[in-house]
A and B are shown apart, each in its own frame.
Chain A
Amino acid sequence: MTTAIEIPSAVTPLLRVTDLNKFYGTRIGCADVSFDLYPGEVMGIVGESGSGKSTLLNCLAGHLAPDAGQVLFDTRAEGMRDTVTMSEPERRMLGRTDWAFVHQHARDGLRMNVSAGGNVGERLMAVGARHYGNIREVAVDWLGRVEINEDRVDDRPTAFSGGMQQRLQIARNLVTGPRLVFMDEPTGGLDVSVQARLLDLLRGLVREMGLSAIIVTHDLAVVRLLADRLMVMKDGHVVETGLTDQVLDDPQHAYTQLLVSSVLQV
């Protein structure tokens, strides 16, 4: 008998979550969540409003302190480290280098009083970039990659449409080549036509950059398009996991069946 953790393949997971719990007083935020995320994988988390998706994501990204459990991340320097117990400076350093976080509301993830170029350049400057010309060049390049015209580089996001703001937020997050991207309802609150364009863009970037990502959404179309694997949450618990197509085409859990059949207004 051995108690060693069995790693199912030769590849080390990028993220290993074990028995994660978060309570708000006596109310469950999320409970007993465990999963592995492998490099290059996109994991979707779906479930109706209040099922604990955002709570889980914020615990993973270090924005909330879980009450129990581990969040192991494969750091560049020291391999697997528990981000829950590491020091805040270390966690913040991850937050501006290896991790990225795309908020549902662009204004939560952008500096609204700073130009588009400054927004994209901030992470570069935070990790030591000190050449204005180079920073600007990279910012312009990234604006192009998210389909924002170069001549908007000095405009503030307040002058942008909702879709443009969200694309700017994505550029600002991806500019330093993060190894893991967290997204909370990235298409939420946008018009349907704008959503479609953003989804296409995200899918292109995910493929092109080989991104590893965790995407929280209540929109099954989003995960159908972006996610390799799915976790279905209900009342803070994971009720079903599997490959996206399998879960959506052949749901096992009664709740997932309801979700997929659109009976639930989610």
Chain B
Amino acid sequence: MTDYNFAYLDEQTKRMIRRAILKGLAIPGYQVPFASREMPMPYGWGTGGVQVSAATLTPDDTLKVIDQGADDTTNAVSIRKFFERTAGVATTEETSKASVIQTRHRIPEEDLTEDQILVYQVPIPEPLRFLEPSEVETRKMHSLEDYGLMHVKLYEDISRHGQIATSYAYPVKVEDRYVMDPSPIPKFDNPKLEMAAIQLFGAGREQRIYAIPPYTQVVSLDFEDYPFEASKADAACDLCAATDSYLDEVITDDAGGRMFVCSDTDYCRSRRAAGHVGALGTAFDEDAA
């Protein structure tokens, strides 16, 4: 028994959000305004993503929630619990078993499929905001494809740091039309934005939804002489030996000990389960014991 409608939001609100999602899918990369609702959690906790997930989930869905790639952080756990309680949907930590994945700041390492939907929590949806504070003006720039300013930002990066220093929320152009903020994912993830799954982006405080349909062209902005690079730490995971995954640097003791581990906890776990062992790792069975 629950006092809530399925997935907390009332049906009328969900319909309104679904219309925004469909419009977003029809115009890839375009920010669709929507009437964001109060959610029982503070802004910054992913209220935009939660509303998009609520409008997307059906009783048959299996939900995965990650924060910086991990299923077990406070933010991920509380959102997962929220939907367990309000929607009664099955949840999982396994990327391949999820039909809807809500994420903050990462794209899973494992390739997603056409049967999956990836929902991003977005803090600031407007990629032009930092140089042009006027919303009226940025909207006009989008509608007129007046994007010189976006490269000014990258130019400033190079002139100040000798390279494009932007490493998160790296701007992209979608289907050769709209410039879009991919949310604060590391630029390592940018090439994965061209994927088989549906990608939905929700910004609660800023009341915007945008989307990338499956197999849409997504190009990271750059200069000919400073081409985009999907960089990561030049190391292997110390637990699973993966060299192709995005790594977090973790401090292990007071003596300054450090190790690199996959930020995608499910990816790391499944590799260890398959027998991969990193430089500082132990065999998976012992680890679990």
Contacts and interface: CB of A to CB of B under 8 A. Distances in A.
Given A92-B144, A130-B223, A132-B226, A122 B149 contact: yes
Given A117-B159, A130-B223, A131-B225, A89 B151 contact: no
Interface of B: 131, 144, 146-149, 151-152, 155-156, 158-160, 222-226
B171 to A, nearest CB: 13
Contact of B144 (A89, A111, A131, A153): A89
Given A89-B144, A96-B148, A125-B152, A114 B131 contact: yes
A118 B225 CA distance: 16
A88 B155 contact: no
A131 B159 contact: no
B152 A118 contact: yes
B246 to A, nearest CB: 27
Q: How large is the interface on A (under 10, 10 to 19, 20 to 34, 35 or more residues)?
A: 20 to 34
A118 B159 contact: yes
Contact of B225 (A92, A121, A132, A154): A132
A154 B159 contact: yes
28 contacts: A92-B144, A96-B146, A113-B131, A114-B131, A117-B159, A118-B152, A118-B156, A118-B159, A121-B152, A121-B155, A122-B149, A125-B148, A125-B151, A125-B152, A126-B149, A130-B151, A130-B222, A130-B224, A131-B224, A131-B225, A132-B155, A132-B158, A132-B223, A132-B225, A133-B225, A136-B155, A153-B159, A154-B159
A115 interface: yes
A219 B160 CA distance: 40
A114 B152 contact: yes
B159 A115 contact: yes
Given A125-B152, A135-B155, A92 B224 contact: no
A122 B160 CA distance: 16
Contacts of A234: none
